[in-house]
Structure 1
């Protein structure tokens, strides 16, 4: 989909939003692919996300990336025109206007899968623990299962939310039920090949309250949050025996590339942008 507006105004919307590197990423994508655009950050009030989205598009905006805590609210706004990925996720991270109608997609899962493959930890035949059951987690459950993982166990501080996500998945795709389970954080015990933190706990500088002994041989601990230094979850995982740790910077760039492709019809090269962003963070 190509935006007809001459201004080509895009933005990332969330709350908080100050930490977002999306403008940096999309500006590099634009340079790489010869696109002219403006990309901003929008901090939406927690009680008026729909109003801010409506105003953005009414003023000629072309597309929005949606981050915490609005991905499920974005799903509701775009529910008449959702991609299959968004429908399965129950959450939206990419919005755009087409023929006067708001459309939504979820590219988080694509970003995560591509980054796991880049790190040498493709999900096929792996036992995966997913910590969290909010919008970020909802966006990656189906892609991880579709990627062939042997087992996916969802745990959350409020166990009920994990069970709700579990039920959402198997109601849409009953054949996946045998590979999917859910519970509270205390139910995380096991030996896992990949442990993914899909909570925002690292933004608050505290790791999730997980039991020890989660990491099998060669295991990866992956935090969807990113920063200049290893996140609290990554530090926790290293102390508890994880073989590899990674933050979510590669996922961020990967999902942004998928959004960029939806908006502009061209897929940028992720590697140089990821390298530039990592260097930018280290020098900030």
Structure 2
């Protein structure tokens, strides 16, 4: 039986084993998927041990995405753009290949929610790995301008400079005043019950406030957006499932339907 795994530290909270087991059942794939707690300084060894015992591919989560990027022998264009890898697999030549499905997972979820990205102006909050991985796929989907706002202006500016002129970097207090139909929170503020400190005026024309964090209840950012009159709010559960589905397709050559798995996960979260 083909073996796959997700590597992280911590890893107990990961929904990936449940998600991929459901995908395997749905797509009639004979495979096993587990969670592996890798030592903070021992990801490479954990991966090699896994492959030596028959491992075929894996997902990588915090804090190992950059280490996976360094370990991979062949990198996809998406991974190179993101500077991080969340999906690993061995090709027919036995080389370790690294890909990043986070951004295409986000785009797929936005499309599922009815967002028209072609010609859209996007405000992206936070300049960590999550946002960097999202920028390329958002631009590929036709976004006209993307404003990357971060507490530390220089970090936003550095990331913006690695893309074309459609991407502008700024601080949270000097965001250009213009219409942002889509605002994406890529910071981890939702994990601590807070939100990015931006002025409510930026939400005036927002149609969807999207938070990459997910949970049983709407995040603080989502609640705030609703209070400000934003018509639609969404969390990152759909993105989690869509990026997992993209990884599954890379490994198995079949694409699962995320909707039934999302329904099951929502029930789990509600307990």
TM-score under structure 2 normalisation? 0.92
Q: Closer, same or farther in 2 for the Cα pair 1:187/1:75, shift >3 Å?
A: farther
Partner of 2:168: 181
Q: Secondary structure at the match of 1:227?
A: coil
**Alpha-carbon separation, structure 2, partners of 1:66 and 1:43:** 11
Could you tell me whether the CA contact under 8 Å between 2:124 and 2:186 is conserved in 1?
A: yes
Residue 120 of structure 2 is matched in structure 1 by: 126
Cα deviation for residue 189 of structure 1 reads 5.2
Matches within 5 A, 1:135-214: 135-169=129-163, 176-177=164-165, 179-188=166-175, 190=177, 191-214=179-202
Contact persistence 1:188–1:211 (CA under 8 A):
no
Q: 1:93 aligns with which of 73, 81, 86?
A: 86
- Aligned-partner Cα distance in 2 for 1:64–1:194: 32
* Structure 1 residue 51: Cα displacement: 2.6
Whether contact under 8 Å (2:184, 2:211) holds in the other structure is: yes
Name which of structure 1's ranges 206-215 and 110-119 shifts more when overlaid on structure 2.
206-215
Measure how far apart 1:18 and its partner are. 2.5
1:263 aligns with 2:251: yes
Query: Of 19, 27, 35, which aligns to 2:13?
Result: 19
CA shift in 2, pair 1:81/1:226, >3 Å: same
Matched residue, 1:275: 263
Aligned residue in 1 for 2:204: 216
Of 107-116 and 160-169, more deviation after overlay is shown by 160-169
In structure 2, C-alpha distance between the alignment counterparts of 1:115 and 1:207, rounded to whole Å: 21
RMSD after superposition: 1.7
> How much has 1:237 moved relative to structure 2?
2.1
- Structure 2 CA distance for partners of 1:16 and 1:219, relative to 1, 3 Å: farther
Cα deviation for residue 126 of structure 1 reads: 1.4
Q: Could you tell me which residue of structure 2 aligns to residue 68 of structure 1?
A: 62
CA distance in 2, matches of 1:237, 1:70: 32
Residue 216 of structure 2 corresponds to residue 228 of structure 1: yes
Supply the distance in 1 between the matched residues of 2:203 and 2:254 (Cα, whole angstroms): 39
Which digits, 9 at most, give the CA deviation of each residue in 1:165-218, with x for residues without a partner? Answer: 11222xxxxxx31x2100222233533111111122212222222222221335
**What is the alpha-carbon distance in structure 2 between the residues aligned to residue 43 and residue 234 of structure 1?**
31
1:48 aligned to which of 38, 42, 47: 42
Specify the SS of the correspondent of 1:186.
coil
- Structure 2, gaps ≥5 residues long: none
* CA–CA separation in structure 2 for the residues paired with 1:49 and 1:66: 10
SS of residue matched to 2:10: coil
Q: 1:54 to 1:185 in 2, by over 3 A?
A: farther
Query: TM-score, normalising length from structure 1?
Result: 0.88
